[in-house]
Amino acid sequence: MDGSVQRLLNRVSLAFATIATVSLLHLYYHNSLSCAPAGDAAYHHRQTLTLTLSPFPKTSCDTAARDHITPEKRFAKLRSSRAWRSRVDAFAALFRPLRPLGLLSNASHVLCVSAGAGHEVAALQESGVADVTAVDLVDFPPLVSRSDPHNLPFFDSVFDLGFSAGLAGALFPTRFVTELERTVRRGGATVLAVDRCSPKEVDEIRALFRRSSLLEVRNVTFIGSEMTLIIMKNNGKPPS
């Protein structure tokens, strides 16, 4: 009796498995035929939209039919936007006061850490600075390479200027500043753009540096946000 029940259960399980398999094959075949209707020019035009402009996919067809967007095309579309232009211009305004101080020139070797999409890189390059290196945890070709800001892959004292607007997002602020400062040569500068600081908060940030002295503090407006620009001059050796 037990053997008969077991055989019956096995047959029922096999039947359900067969039904499920047939259903999946039917759905796959149906979607494959319906994803790209022949002769529908409007449909194919819609699929050429970029990832940044297309709505979130509602079906597997929407996802499968999207063309692959190269980094170059993505960057070209991004830099043509008004938001991109606004941020680049804002960074250009941040860097402008560094030239009269002798901290930035067209011949400077500049490192930007936690550079995001690379707005600051574009601002520097447009101002005439050719040698700009930018890193972040997530790369953004062609301007930003992938690297851990807490463990920079550069030798000591190879840059004239180090810049970052990402201190607030650092997991280990002391390590973050130490690495950025390490890569800047003696006589060079490290510049941090942070949310508007009180004098006490500026002192706390200054204490993170071991080889630099405070050169200047500026309160600035960055795309409607109140920020503080902290400029540190590298002395070449840690204080005694």
Give me the domains of the chain, ranges plus CATH numbers: 2-69 (no CATH), 72-234 (3.40.50.150)
The C-alpha atoms of residue 74 and residue 69 are separated, in whole angstroms, by: 6
pLDDT band at 78 (very low <50, low <70, confident <90, very high): confident
Supply the mean pLDDT for the chain. Answer: 85
Q: Is the pTM of this model over 0.85?
A: no
Residue of 23, 47, 18, 21 whose CA lies nearest to 35: 47
Confidence of residue 48 (pLDDT cuts 50, 70, 90): very low
For residue 101, give every residue at least 6 positions away whose Cβ sits within 8 Å of its Cβ, in sequence order, or none: 189, 215, 216, 231
| Type of residue numbered 183 | T
pLDDT per residue over 55-72, tens digit each? 555 665 555 555 667 877
What is the C-alpha separation between 63 and 45, in angstroms, rounded? 15
Of 173 and 238, more confident: 173
Indicate whether 119 pLDDT > 60.
Answer: yes
Q: Which residue matches tokens 């101080």?
A: 101
pLDDT in tens, 125-174: 999 999 999 999 999 999 999 999 999 999 999 999 999 999 999 999 99
**What number of other Cβ atoms are within 10 A of residue 105's Cβ?**
12
